[in-house]
Structure 1
């Protein structure tokens, strides 16, 4: 075979899959084992046949021939004695010999019937026996008893000759039977040796097949899989630049190629991820810079902006007190507008600072009993509760890990809104409840007030959103936005229950422990004049109604 013919063959073999290799290997092994099994079965059958012929034909034929010869000798002895003496007792061996002769002749005929030469020998023996019996034995046996038979002496020489011929025929028969027996023994021994070699060859072929299959599996399956596993582990350990080498049958090479394609895609994804990480780092740095600017803005709003605002408010109030009634009505109105605007501006700035402090300044997580928090919130709202005649009921509330200041701001804003936005001329009824939902607690603040239209259910949590004018309800519109920020800071959600139509129901969830968040600002970075509680622990947080102005 030339080299050009070998290359297509190698390419064809390289396209074989593991399943095809296994099928071919199993089929070849089964074919070899079938041939060996057929050979072994033939050898075993041959051995059994030769053994059966030797044991049941050749050996019995030889021994029967000897018994037939003995029976004929008994006949000859009996006839000779009877012929010489005329004594009837000599006929008994003769008669017994006749019976044995018939039995042994029948047996020999059956045993040697399949062999032409042995059958011919038996016929020659039978002819010699018949000739001797016809000429000697039967005539002498037929003479009267008591006297010697004259035929015994007359035919003594003829009888001796005929019986010698008989014995020669028996000798030739026995010699052939011995030869055939010896040949059968040799054939049996040779076949048994062949049987032993065949089974040794079968055992060697089975061992060779097992070794060949093991080596083929090792080279074609185990070794490629081990190499693939090493390459895959290298990629798993972070060496994404290491290629996956394709070896073994076609399907394993395809698998290696698919894994290498996955590795290449991971490399591309990692490159994209690295670029995204760099972009996120840049954005984080930009966000940090923006937060620093917001901190600076908070500082300016807390001091640099409020200082001139306080002066404007103070001096306009002095003008109002000193010149009230001394100027015309327009001047008094303008001064009142200026005082109101300055006060509202100061309230907005303080509320905005409170909003920015959520999660940044107030960040002290500890075990908080919400029953006590709600009780303090109701106490802080005692004036408005007394003015409106509000009735507040509260179920048993759990103890959570949270920031106590933020919890106070949350409950005071929610209950304060429920008190403020009651129906005109009707005292408000407010109910606080809690229920366990898996790992969270769901809280509800339900009132029978003026309610919130469904189209405003989301807008009320946006900062500075108002549903009423400041003349109808005072406030800055930041209360529910602050509640939303506090709840989300503690890992929960807040919403308006739109299915409740008897007023307003605000529901929110809180976890037993809030998620990890950024650390609070150190005291050195807080705006000057502020502590960790902002404008002071005794100052009331803003109370707000859904989407409306909070109370000052």
Structure 2
């Protein structure tokens, strides 16, 4: 092979991907293992065949041949005794021997059915026994009992010669059966030795293949990946100028090149992100100033703005008390409007402040027993509940990690609405339930009041939205909006059950533990929808 051919072949091998190397390696390993497996299967099959022949044919055949000889000897003993004495008892061993002879012959013929040479030996034995039986055994057995058989004495020499032929045939048969058994055992031992060598070779080849595969993976995959990991760690440590050297199969080299391209891209993006970070720091500072201004606004709204509002309310009330009835009815009406407007403005400001404090001032999460919170809330509202004659029941409520003040406000608004919006002339009945639903707890507050029309199911949770005039039902319309904010701050949702028509049913969920980002359930789309509804 010339130098150019070697270089071309080397370039061809370096173009192989990891998948191709693995396919070639696996295919070669499977071919070798298939060849070794076929050899092992052949040796195992051969061992099984020889073992079965030795155990199931050769050894049983020799045993049956010996039993056949014993049966023939029993016949000869019985006939000889009967011929010499005429005693009928000697016939029994003869008859039993004939029966055993036939059974052993059939068994031996079955065992040797695939061995023509041994069947020929069996036929020779059977022929010799038949000749002896026809000339000696049967005629003597047919003689009357009680006295020695003259026929036995007359044919004694012939009987001896015929039975010697039987002995000779049996002896030859047994010698050849023993030889066959010895040969089968020798073949089995040599095959077992070959089997051991074959499986030892398979074990050695498997170990060699394992070592080659391990070394190939180490050089072709592990080492390039370790080099790539070392380069990546150097970059992760802050050395973004550290280059990544492509090594290994073609796909790993491509991966290294792509990672190096990503490194160069990150270097460029890092400069841009640094500039962005500086701008974000400036925006964060602006946001902190804005939050401080909002805090200042809350202070002003709760103190400075309330003072002139109280003054307006006080003087309009003084006007009403001092000049009420002295002016015309139109002036009294204007004064009533001013007093009512000032009072409503004060209520709206206080409600708005309470709404803004949810999640800002009240954020002390702890283990809260909702049964206790609900009982305390009902105790606080006991006067209004007794005046309305309301019946309030609840299922066992769970213990959650939450803000107890916010949950108290939640129960107060929901129970208060259920009591306030009752049907005229009907005793309010309110029931609270709780059940586990996946990772959340689902609660319902059901009443038999005036209910909520389906078209207002979303509008009622928007701040300052009212479905009735202030003359019909008091309030500022902030209660359910505050409930929504509290529930979302605790990782849940709140809605009206449109399927319930015998009053109103408010259903909401709470997480067993507060979310890491409270109020994450409030989406920009929901905020825009509330703003649209507020308009």
Normalising by structure 1, report the TM-score: 0.54
- Distance, in Å, in 2 between the alignment partners of 1:23 and 1:372 is 69
Aligned position for 1:415: 415
Aligned position for 1:443: 443
Further displaced range: 221-230 or 496-505: 221-230
Aligned pairs for 1:100-111 (under 5 A) are: none
Deviations 1:173-206 (A, max 9, x none): xxxxxxxxxxxxxxxxxxxxxxxxxxxxxxxxxx
Aligned position for 2:117: none
- Distance, in Å, in 1 between the alignment partners of 2:359 and 2:430 is 28
Aligned position for 1:512: 512
- Distance, in Å, in 2 between the alignment partners of 1:26 and 1:386 is 85
- Distance, in Å, in 1 between the alignment partners of 2:487 and 2:424 is 30
Q: Does 1:468 align with 2:468?
A: yes
In the TM superposition, residue 335 of structure 1 has moved relative to its aligned partner by 0.8
Q: Structure 1 236/318 Cα, relative in aligned 2: closer, same or farther at 3 Å?
A: same
- Distance, in Å, in 1 between the alignment partners of 2:211 and 2:357 is 78
Q: Structure 1 374/16 Cα, relative in aligned 2: closer, same or farther at 3 Å?
A: closer
In the TM superposition, residue 409 of structure 1 has moved relative to its aligned partner by 1.1
- Distance, in Å, in 1 between the alignment partners of 2:467 and 2:310 is 29
Q: Structure 1 339/231 Cα, relative in aligned 2: closer, same or farther at 3 Å?
A: same
Aligned position for 1:393: 393
- Distance, in Å, in 2 between the alignment partners of 1:417 and 1:408 is 14
Q: Does 1:297 align with 2:297?
A: yes
Aligned pairs for 1:183-262 (under 5 A) are: 223-237=223-237, 239-262=239-262
Q: Structure 1 267/413 Cα, relative in aligned 2: closer, same or farther at 3 Å?
A: farther
Aligned position for 1:361: 361
Aligned position for 2:334: 334
Further displaced range: 420-429 or 3-12: 3-12
Aligned position for 1:452: 452
Deviations 1:460-511 (A, max 9, x none): 2221122222222221111111111222222322222223222211122223
In the TM superposition, residue 359 of structure 1 has moved relative to its aligned partner by 1.6
Q: Structure 1 517/235 Cα, relative in aligned 2: closer, same or farther at 3 Å?
A: same
In the TM superposition, residue 25 of structure 1 has moved relative to its aligned partner by 9.7
Aligned position for 1:434: 434
Q: Structure 1 438/13 Cα, relative in aligned 2: closer, same or farther at 3 Å?
A: closer
- Distance, in Å, in 2 between the alignment partners of 1:27 and 1:371 is 70
Aligned position for 1:320: 320
- Distance, in Å, in 2 between the alignment partners of 1:9 and 1:447 is 86
Aligned position for 1:424: 424
Q: Structure 1 277/312 Cα, relative in aligned 2: closer, same or farther at 3 Å?
A: same
- Distance, in Å, in 1 between the alignment partners of 2:23 and 2:429 is 84
Higher relative contact order (CA 8 A, sep 6+): 1
In the TM superposition, residue 321 of structure 1 has moved relative to its aligned partner by 0.6
Further displaced range: 5-14 or 209-218: 209-218
- Distance, in Å, in 2 between the alignment partners of 1:409 and 1:26 is 70
Deviations 1:79-123 (A, max 9, x none): xxxxxxxxxxxxxxxxxxxxxxxxxxxxxxxxxxxxxxxxxxxxx
Q: Structure 1 468/261 Cα, relative in aligned 2: closer, same or farther at 3 Å?
A: farther
- Distance, in Å, in 2 between the alignment partners of 1:303 and 1:504 is 38
Secondary structure of the residue that 1:476 maps to in structure 2? coil
In the TM superposition, residue 385 of structure 1 has moved relative to its aligned partner by 2.5
In the TM superposition, residue 249 of structure 1 has moved relative to its aligned partner by 3.3
Q: Structure 1 8/445 Cα, relative in aligned 2: closer, same or farther at 3 Å?
A: same
Secondary structure of the residue that 1:342 maps to in structure 2? helix
Structure 1 unmatched runs, 5+? 30-208, 519-546, 548-552
- Distance, in Å, in 2 between the alignment partners of 1:210 and 1:388 is 86
Q: Structure 1 316/253 Cα, relative in aligned 2: closer, same or farther at 3 Å?
A: same
Secondary structure of the residue that 1:234 maps to in structure 2? helix
- Distance, in Å, in 2 between the alignment partners of 1:436 and 1:210 is 55
Structure 2 unmatched runs, 5+? 30-208, 519-529, 531-535
